[in-house]
Homo-oligomer: A and B are copies of this chain.
Amino acid sequence: MQKKSRYRSNCPINYTQEILGDKWSLLIIRDMMFMGKRYYSEFLKSDEKISTNILADRLGKLEDNGIVSSRLDEQNYSKKIYSLTEKGIDLMPILFEMIEWGLEYNDKTIVPPEFKKQIQADKAGFLKYLMQAVRKQQA
């Protein structure tokens, strides 16, 4: 739920930054989007080593902001399963551009070769394909 004056200005870049802005939230979204992660324990295993308290806090914030939704896993009722909402999936073009810029300007960064090839061959088509794939996976 959006409260009045919650954001620092009415600039759309500022809004997007306030939602994505902290260093961890974006990595959780990345893990859901590109690595198919959906469980708390999976998010803990990323290279950047998020701590449990930060992870719990950021998942809560992402839910509050309507980027992520959660439900109990039908296969195991003691576990929560997290999904990206449509609003969350729509962040993919931003992440795509971040991947390209990162690869361009830091040659230590890597993505799977197949991923890079697809971006280079047909970025728009690959983006559309991946968004559709993530949409299906979250359902």
Is A18 among interface residues, defined by CB-CB distance under 8 A?
yes
A interface, size bucket:
35 or more
A16, A26, A90, A97 pick with most chain B CB within 10 angstroms: A16
9 A-B pairs (CB sep. < 8 Å):
A12-B106, A12-B109, A13-B95, A14-B102, A15-B106, A16-B98, A16-B101, A16-B102, A18-B23
Is A11 among interface residues, defined by CB-CB distance under 8 A?
yes
A2, A66, A101, A111 pick with most chain B CB within 10 angstroms: A101
Distance of A102 Cα from B12 Cα, bound (Å): 4
- Majority DSSP secondary structure for residues of A touching B: helix
Chain B residues with Cβ under 8 A from A8's Cβ?
A: 47-49
Q: Is there contact, CB below 8 Å, between B2 and A14?
A: no
Residues of A within 8 A of B (CB): 2, 7-18, 21-23, 26-27, 30, 46-49, 66, 87, 90-91, 93-106, 108-111
Chain B residues with Cβ under 8 A from A13's Cβ?
A: 26-27, 30, 95, 98-99, 102
Shortest A32–chain B CB gap in Å is: 12
Of all chain B residues, which has the CB nearest A103? B12
